Amino acid sequence: MKCWVVLALGALLAAPGGAALPGALADGTPLPSLAPVLESVTPGVVNIATETDVSVANPLLQDPFFRRFFEVPRRQQRKARSAGSGVIIDGEGGLVLTNHHVVGQADRITVTLASGAQLSATRLGSDPQVDLALLALDPAALANLPPLQALRFGDSRALRVGDFVVAIGNPFGIGQTVTSGIVSALGRSGLGLEGYEDFIQTDASINPGNSGGALVDLAGQLVGINTAIFAPNGGNVGIGFAIPSAMAKRIAEALREDGQVRRADLGLAVQPLDASLAEAFSVAQGAGALVRAVRPGGAAARAGLAVGDILLELGERSIRQEGDLRAQAAVTLLGDEIPFKALREGLPVQGVLVFGEADRLRLAGAELARGLAGAELQSTGQGEQPEGVTLLTVVPGSPAWRLGLRAGDRIVALDGVRVMALAGLVERLGRSGGRLGLRIHREGRDYALSIPR
C-alpha cells in the first residue's frame, strides 16, 4: 500500500504541465484560499506582553526564628507576566485596541508587530465595563519603522448567523495564529463576563492569549475584538465571544478623544413582551419591549417616554429585551441625541433622547466631595429599582475608605432627602455646605454617615 502511494505521487509530479500540483485544480483554477485576505490583515494584529509589579509576603517570615533575629523585609516584589493580542486601528498614530483585562493592571507594556519589531506602549484610556483599552505606541520608535498597517472597521450590525469569520491572535503566547469558523450567534448577553454584553459568538478557535485579537470577515474587515471563551474543561470547545466592531469603534473613539468613556444614564428600564403582556397591550409578541420604569427628570422622561409604552427602537437598535437596552446603553455617551420609536395605546410615538451633564451615569467621588475621594459612583439601575447611587469601587486607604465606605454600598439619602440617581445626588451636593449626612444601604441594613464636603 505504501509503495502504491509513492508511485501515485510520483505520477502526479511527472504529469505534463504540473496540472495536479497543490494550489490549483486540474484545469489550472486556483484553489479557494484565505491567504490573500490574511496577507493584508495579519500585519495589523500585534502581540502584547505585559509586566506587572506584584507585592507578595516574604516566605521567610513564616519561620519564627527569622522573624525574631533577622530584619527580613515583610514583603517582596516580583514581576507577573502575561500575553495577549491587539489590533492596530490607526497606523499613522500608532493606536492599538485591545482588551482591558490584557493591560488593565500592567506597569509595562510591550507590543510586538508582525514584522518582529518590539515597541513600548502606554495606555491612553480604558473601559472595564466593555473590556476595551486603547494603547499608544512609542512615537520615537514608530519614526524609525515603515508605516504601520491598520485594520478597517467593518459593520458588525450587518453580520448574520452563518457568516464566515477568521480569528487572529496570539494563543498561549506561541505567536500569531489564524483560525476560521462562522458566526454562531449574535447579541449574546447575560453571561456575567462584563458590565455591558452584546457579544458575537463564534466557533473560530479562541484560546488564552487570543484576547484583544481580531475577528475579521472574508473581506478582511474588523468585525469584532476577541474577548472570551466558554471553557468548562479549560480549553476551546467551539464557543468564543467577541465584542462587535460597532461597539468597539465607538468606545475607541471616546478613549482617543477623552481617555475615558463618559456614559449617559438612559433613565428607563424595560421588560420583554411575553404572550400575556402582548395580548394585554394588543401588540404582537416580540414587537418591542414594555417600558416598566422611567426615572423622573431623566432623558427618557424629558423625551416623553412613559411607563406602559412599548419601546420599538432606540437609536438604530430594535429593542426586544433588557439586553438590547443595555447594548444601546453601552454606546450612549454624554452629548448624544438618540431617536426612539414607541407605541402608546396602539398609536406610534416618536422623539429624541438628549443627554447632557445631568445624565452622567458614572462619576469619580472626588468630583463631588472630599469625603468621597477614592470612590467611583454610578446610578444604581438606570430607572430600575432599587433607587440610589452605588459605589462601584473604593480604593483601599483613600478618604472614602477611611470613612468606612466600601464597594457595593448604596447611597439612598443625602441630608435627609431621598436620592434617586446620580443626577439627583449631584444636584443636592451643589446646595450643600460643610459636612454631609449620608444614609448608606449595605447588606439589607441602613447606616448613617457624616462626611466632609
Supply the CATH number for residue 305's domain.
2.30.42.10
Q: Is the alpha carbon torsion for 74, 77, 78, 79 positive or negative?
A: positive
Q: Look at 58-62, 173-177, 285-289 and tell me which has the smallest mean pLDDT.
A: 58-62
Q: Is the model more confident about 434 or about 273?
A: 273
- Of 90, 107, 142, the position where a domain reaches its end is 142
pLDDT at 346: 87
Q: Are residues 161 and 249 in the same domain?
A: yes
Q: Is the alpha carbon torsion for 172, 176, 194, 312 positive or negative?
A: negative
Q: Which three cell numbers stand for residue 230?
A: 466558554
Residue 216's Cβ-count burial label (10 Å; 0-12, 13-18, 19+) is: buried
Q: Could you tell me the pLDDT band of residue 193, with boundaries at 50, 70 and 90?
A: confident
Q: Are residues 344 and 423 in the same domain?
A: no
Is 293 a residue whose pLDDT tops 60?
yes
Tens of pLDDT along 311-344?
Answer: 999 998 999 988 899 899 999 999 999 999 999 9
- Of 119, 142, 165, the position where a domain reaches its end is 142
Q: Are residues 443 and 368 in the same domain?
A: yes
Quote the CA–CA distance of 81 and 50 in Å, as a whole number. Answer: 6
Name the most confidently modeled range: 4-13, 90-99, 313-322. Answer: 90-99
Q: Are residues 137 and 193 in the same domain?
A: no
Structural domain contains residue 293:
yes
Total number of domains in the chain: 4
Give CA angle at 182 (203, 152), nearest 5°.
Answer: 110
pLDDT at 337: 96
Quote the CA–CA distance of 166 and 383 in Å, as a whole number. Answer: 39
Q: Could you tell me the pLDDT band of residue 15, with boundaries at 50, 70 and 90?
A: very low
Please say whether the beta carbons of 242 and 227 come within 8 A. yes
Name the most confidently modeled range: 49-53, 213-217, 273-277. Answer: 213-217
Q: Are residues 179 and 232 in the same domain?
A: yes
Is 421 a residue whose pLDDT tops 90?
no
Active-site residue list: 101, 131, 211
Contacts of 418 (CB under 8 A, 6+ apart): 387, 412
Name the most confidently modeled range: 70-79, 132-141, 191-200, 366-375. Answer: 132-141
Q: Is the alpha carbon torsion for 363, 364, 369, 374 positive or negative?
A: positive
| Amino acid in position 91 | G
Structural domain contains residue 320:
yes
Supply the CATH number for residue 131's domain: 2.40.10.10
Structural domain contains residue 86:
yes
Write down the mean pLDDT value for the chain: 84
Q: Are residues 288 and 200 in the same domain?
A: no
pLDDT at 178: 92
- Of 358, 375, 399, the position where a domain reaches its end is 358
Structural domain contains residue 10:
no
Q: Are residues 103 and 173 in the same domain?
A: no
Q: Are residues 175 and 254 in the same domain?
A: yes
Structural domain contains residue 60:
yes
Domain coverage including residue 286: 268-358
pLDDT at 1: 36
Q: Is the model more confident about 357 or about 79?
A: 357
Is 283 a residue whose pLDDT tops 60?
yes
Quote the CA–CA distance of 419 and 427 in Å, as a whole number. Answer: 10
Nearest residue to 167 via CA among 104, 107, 236: 236
Structural domain contains residue 221:
yes
Structural domain contains residue 272:
yes
Q: Are residues 313 and 379 in the same domain?
A: no
Tens of pLDDT along 124-161?
Answer: 999 988 999 999 999 999 988 999 999 999 999 999 99
Which 3-state string (H, E, C) describes the chain?
A: CHHHHHHHHHHHHCCHHHCCCCCECCCCCECCCCHHHHHHHHHHEEEEEEEEEEEEECHHHHCHHHHHHCCCCCEEEEEEEEEEEEEEEECCCCEEEECHHHHCCCCEEEEECCCCCEEEEEEEEEECCCCEEEEEECHHHHCCCCCCCCCCECCHHHCCCCCEEEEEECHHHCCCEEEEEEEEEEEECCCCCCCCCCEEEECCCCCCCCCCCEEECCCCCEEEEEEEECCCCCCCCCCEEEEEHHHHHHHHHHHHHHCCCCEECCCEEEEECCHHHHHHCCCCCCCCEEEEEECCCCHHHHHCCCCCCEEEEECCEECCCHHHHHHHHHCCECCCEEEEEEEECCEEEEEEEECCHHHECEEEHHHCCHHHCCEEEEECCCCCCCCCEEEEEECCCCHHHHCCCCCCCEEEEECCEECCCHHHHHHHHHHCCCEEEEEEEECCEEEEEEEEC
Q: Are residues 375 and 333 in the same domain?
A: no
Is 100 a residue whose pLDDT tops 70?
yes
Is 298 a residue whose pLDDT tops 80?
yes
20-46 as b/e, with b when 16 or more CB fall inside 10 Å? eeeeeeeeeeeeeeeeebbeebbbbbb
| Amino acid in position 98 | T
Tens of pLDDT along 220-248?
Answer: 999 999 998 776 666 667 788 999 999 99
Q: Could you tell me the pLDDT band of residue 429, with boundaries at 50, 70 and 90?
A: confident
Q: Are residues 340 and 367 in the same domain?
A: no
User: What backbone phi and psi angles, to 5 degrees, belong to 316?
Assistant: -100, 15
Nearest residue to 369 via CA among 439, 440, 433, 423: 433
Please say whether the beta carbons of 345 and 364 come within 8 A. no
Q: Which three cell numbers stand for residue 61?
A: 517570615
Q: Are residues 317 and 339 in the same domain?
A: yes
Q: Look at 190-194, 341-345, 370-374 and tell me which has the smallest mean pLDDT.
A: 190-194
The structure's pTM equals 0.78
